[in-house]
Amino acid sequence: MNAIIEKSINKKPISFELSKKTCVRQKSLTHGLTWAHYRNKDEHLSYENKNQHTLSMYLTGGYNTFRTDIKANKGAPGKFCLMPKGADSQWQVGDTQEFMHLYFDDTYIKKLALSVFDIDPRSVQLPELTFTQDLGLEALFRHNMATANWHTNDMHLAMEQVTDTILISMLQNMGNTKLKTPLKGGLSPRVYILVCDYIHANYQRQIYLSELAKLAQLSEYHFCRMFKESLAQTPQEYLVKVRIEHVKNALLHSTQNLADIALKVGFSNQSHMGRYFKKLIGISPREFRKLA
């Protein structure tokens, strides 16, 4: 064993909260859902999960990280750990590593299990998992969450949708779950109009997935599926298109500067507005204004 690691193990572990970790970024989606991206190295840690469940995935490094309280595999990029509420563990951290934590309430996961799988929430018991692998979950973490800009309102709806998909996949991988009979045909005409009108009336602010699902009287998961069935796009994509239409109108009929237009229609800043505008329209807002 490396002498530095052996010396570190002999020391009393430091709690994760008080460790030398760097929090690269953090984002609370709802009261019961929080994402965090960390970096750390060369520490002997204790992890006490008192308040929420934690699903963790290593983005880079982890090859010399292992648990010191039980015999288990070492870490690596793409490896997952599930640390249920109430679980305690001790870890030896090796070279520099980056990892993401998804913190979620027990109430949230049980409500999700009931709405999606129609199972008794009392039967939802999360196992403790150390350095397991799941290629589907890894793809969701890497390509949908790790690459996203967490600090823009533009991405909030999309992050909620991906987070629910991750938790649903996690529950499915645990077994004893079966999806409810899929709802066919998309949203009813009444609900379709109600939801679209709501988005058009509130496009200037951050819209939460729970708001739209409540309007439709569906679980968030089934609402997303039926919305896409009806409109061939996600709620987030629809919201962005609504905002871009208002940007076009402002460019044609006002002299407002681009930064003010971006904030007025609900984008976090001019850069984000410009990126979405060019993606949908094919040219930048400035070029669009000149042509008009």
pLDDT in tens, 124-160: 889 999 999 999 999 999 999 999 989 887 788 889 9
The mean predicted confidence, pLDDT, of the chain is: 89
Matching fold, domains 3-173 and 238-291? no
Q: Collapsing DSSP states into helix, strand and coil, what is residue 205?
A: coil
Domain ranges of the chain: 3-173, 189-232, 238-291
With tokens 């993606």, the residue in question is 279
DSSP label of 40: E
Split at pLDDT 50, 70, 90, the class of 20 is very high
Bridge partners of residue 55, in order along the sequence: 82, 102
pLDDT tens sequence across 150-166: 988 778 888 998 999 99
pLDDT for residue 10: 58
**The domain 3-173: what is its CATH number?**
2.60.120.10
Tens of pLDDT, residues 211-226: 999 999 999 989 998 9
194 membership: H or E segment, kind and range: helix 189-202
Which CATH fold topology does 238-291 show? Arc Repressor Mutant, subunit A (1.10.10)
pLDDT, residue 144, reads: 92
pLDDT of 153: 73
Query: Which tens digits make up the pLDDT trace of 63-91?
Result: 999 999 999 889 999 999 999 999 999 99
| Percent of the chain scoring above 70 in pLDDT | 93
Name the residue among 169, 86, 167, 90 with its Cα closest to residue 130. 90
